[in-house]
Amino acid sequence: SRHFCIEPFDPLPCFSEAPGTMQIHRAVLRAAVGVCGVRALLQVALSARSSTQHAAFAAAGGGIASVAPAPLSSLRGLRLQRFAAVAGSEGAIADGMRVAITWELKRDDTGEVLDNSDAQGPWEFSSGQQGIFPQVDDGVRGMTVGEQRTISLGDDAFGPVDPKRVIEFPLEKLPEGVTVGGQLQMEGPSGPMLATVKELTDATATLDLNHPFSGLPLTMSVTILTITPAASLEVEVVSPGDGKTFPQAGDKLTMHYTGTLAKDGSQFDSSRDRGDPFQFTIGEGQVIIGWDVGVMKMSLGERAILKIPSKMGYGSRGAGAAIPPNADLVFDVELLKIN
């Protein structure tokens, strides 16, 4: 594959170490960067690039493209859903459970199979945590291992078709072998993206930077492979609050806290020691899941101990040197204000 480089900002030169690298017209570039800023609805696995080329382009803030179409690697929903620690019933899926599925994505109007887990492998996600299309996240609730279901994604799963994302591009600046209907793989400022060649003239190419599935009516057939029960969160009341004023998603809270490791009690952080209460918006993913779930159970003025399992904390990645991977956590928290 040939590659070309996007220059997101004028001060950054385009790396030219990769074979076949060529610069894009700055005027066209600015139009391209404008449409690259849209939230990526599909993470595209970029093929035909070596790790050296990838590092060079990443260092330059640039991107690459090739003539070959890209495989689909993972899908992410647009909606942030509040995590609720709900226990499953007879093995049925509930929020917080870890779920693995096989899947097949089809056009609803023609029945054409667009992609499936035979090619890409099964997906694994935590129910209710924005790890997949919202329609699928909702649709699998209550399902059990081995059960199959076809779920409608509607015609906006990959966003609507935006005419502003269709641009004209100098043909001489594109890789050789470009044909109508071909797809160029690009690395834009917001991550991987595809451009579909809609029209060719002697001098220009019309590129559609909308996702190839934008505006298409889609369905996804899923089969449940495995279900892992939700992690358990404990909330122990130290001193009660008013018993009637509870946080709601979107409220701005002011809290004091002291965080320790469950295994040995060693302290890793404390707003009390700093004399500086912590403020955040609950239910919007600004804090770890254990906080979003546990603090929802507290009323104004309450002080409580949150015992948070690793899966609802920092998981296998940990957090710096203070919180090792897979560490269960204990927080002594106090709900001071609710705005």
| Active site members | 257, 268-269, 288, 314, 331
Q: Where are the beta strands (DSSP E) in 21-172?
A: 42-44, 72-75, 98-107, 113-116, 123-126, 148-154, 166-170
- The secondary structure element, H or E, covering residue 185 is strand 183-188
Q: Helix, strand or coil for residue 31? A: helix
The closest of 329, 303, 45, 11 to 193, measured between CA atoms, is: 45
CA distances from 337 to 57, 61, 108, 304, 333 (A): 47, 42, 49, 15, 12
- Taking CA atoms, 73 is separated from 34, 76, 99, 303, in Å, by 25, 10, 17, 44
Percentages helix, strand, coil for the chain (3-state, rounded to 5) are: 15, 35, 50
Question: Backbone phi, then psi, for 237, in 5-degree steps?
Answer: -75, 125
First to last CA, the chain: 55
